[in-house]
Amino acid sequence: MRVARTARDGMDGRVRAVAELHELLPGADAVVLCVPLTDDTRDQMNASRLALMKDGAVLVNVGRGELVDAQALVREVQHGRLRAALDVTAPEPLPHDHPLWDLPGVVITPHIGAFTHAFTRTSLDFILRQLRDYARGETPANVLARMADAR
């Protein structure tokens, strides 16, 4: 599998800028959204970006429901072009009569996709590691470069 990561700004050639999504979406089998909701990310996957995705691709949203234009997604799934796995929706909770509930190719989880049997232990281990590193004056894992530079 080839993974293409994106961020608001590209970084070191390893992370592509969101402005390059028009180049990346047509070749993606899966697009995973795991970003916060901001003015810049609201409707990040709008009708034109969804239309760029290749036939049969799956959109996975574990960020916030408002990242996706739900009406445009419904149209794409109804036409059989796209599939979706949604841990979050807009609105949330999704009304019982919303078309996403009955569309083939759509899986909806109740905004608890992260909670598995291993979640609590893994999360606690990670938090303790982060605190230990910080207490030792070391840079904790997963700190963004800009944040690390500001220290």
What local confidence, expressed as pLDDT, does residue 115 receive?
66
Residues 41 and 92 in one domain: yes
What local confidence, expressed as pLDDT, does residue 20 receive?
93
Residues 59 and 97 in one domain: yes
What local confidence, expressed as pLDDT, does residue 118 receive?
78
Residues 47 and 14 in one domain: yes
Domain count, the chain: 2
What local confidence, expressed as pLDDT, does residue 149 receive?
47
Catalytic residues: 64, 92, 111
Residues 63 and 126 in one domain: no
pTM value?
0.75
- How many residues are listed for the chain in this entry? 151
CA atoms within 13 Å, Cβ hemisphere of 16: 12
Among all chains, which residue has been given the structure tokens 């036409």? 79
What local confidence, expressed as pLDDT, does residue 121 receive?
85
Phi-psi sector, 59: left (phi>0), alpha (psi -120 to 50), beta: beta
Which structural domain range is residue 121 located in?
116-151
Residues 105 and 124 in one domain: no
What local confidence, expressed as pLDDT, does residue 132 receive?
93
| Residue 82 identity (one-letter amino acid) | L
Residues 82 and 131 in one domain: no
pLDDT tens-place string over residues 44-75:
999 999 999 999 999 999 999 999 999 999 99
What local confidence, expressed as pLDDT, does residue 146 receive?
45
What local confidence, expressed as pLDDT, does residue 113 receive?
61
* Averages of pLDDT over each 10 residues, the chain, 151 residues: 87 88 96 93 96 97 96 97 95 91 92 72 88 91 54 43
